[in-house]
Amino acid sequence: MTKNALVTGGSGGIGNAICLKLAQAGYHVLIHYYSNKEAATATLEKINGHEGSAELIQFDVTRQDEVKNALQSWKETHQEEYISVLVNNAGISKDVLMVWMEREDWSKVIDTNLNSFYYVTTPLLQDMVVNKFGRIINIVSLSGVKGLPGQTNYAAAKAGVMGATKALAQEVGRKKVTVNAIAPGYIRTEMTKNLDEKELKRLIPANRFGTPEEVAEVVAFLASEGAAYITGEVIHVNGGLYT
């Protein structure tokens, strides 16, 4: 049976690295995107260029019916297979102090980062349980662990996913389905390109920002058989930054 892995937000910086790493590990990767087809296609071409296996899948993670229909369509054309690894990576931030935060800034971040966890995970969970193997890996954030000013919405969403991770892990552990989260700190991506790395790295014991590839390494490990006894955990990839 083909090993299938779905990476939401697969066209982004961290998502791209995760897709490439899972393809190297022998997975057929479903590279999810919503609007940035060009970046998703570039990831697909990289995987194909290294003799990996991948395909694109498009849906809006904030629309439950759209998610359900896209995953159902995939299943109908792959009836003997199932998605055994899910990486919930899609996310956005709309940073603003809460005193000036509009309702839309709150709702859009909660929908994309938290509600999407429910929308995408639910349709795939039953197959993992029936087949007695599954890996659910949620990309959260340092912001959800300690909170960061200007990110009340983002911190709330990521903290919510961490709580859901711990609860779901207890529900499906007996079925050999693990559920973990990875909390990156400052990683060099499009989302952090406007931050002052020279100033911020002084706060980081490792004295630098991390790379998407360093996050992807942890994802690949959690997806492997070697991580079968790790579940309900939040693993920090932040260079030692906690305060």
Domain that holds residue 188: 4-237
pTM, to two decimals: 0.95
Is 119 a member of any domain? yes
Assess contact for 234 and 183: CB atoms under 8 A.
yes
Model confidence band, residue 190 (pLDDT cutoffs 50, 70, 90): confident
Is 203 a member of any domain? yes
Residue written as token pair 């340092």? 142
Whether the pLDDT of residue 240 is over 80: the answer is yes
Is 132 a member of any domain? yes
pLDDT recorded at residue 12:
85
Is 242 a member of any domain? no
Spatial strand order in the sheet of 234-237: 53-58, 28-33, 4-7, 83-88, 134-139, 177-184, 234-237
Is 219 a member of any domain? yes
CA distance 121 to 65: 13
Active-site amino acid positions: 154
Model confidence band, residue 105 (pLDDT cutoffs 50, 70, 90): very high
Is 243 a member of any domain? no
Is 231 a member of any domain? yes
CATH number for the domain spanning 96: value is: 3.40.50.720
List pLDDT tens digits, range 26-45: 999 999 999 999 999 999 99
Q: How many domains does the chain have?
A: 1
List pLDDT tens digits, range 152-174: 999 999 999 999 999 999 999 99
Secondary structure E strands in the chain: 4-7, 28-33, 53-58, 83-88, 134-139, 177-184, 234-237
Assess contact for 169 and 176: CB atoms under 8 A.
no
Mean of pLDDT values over 136-142:
96
Is 165 a member of any domain? yes
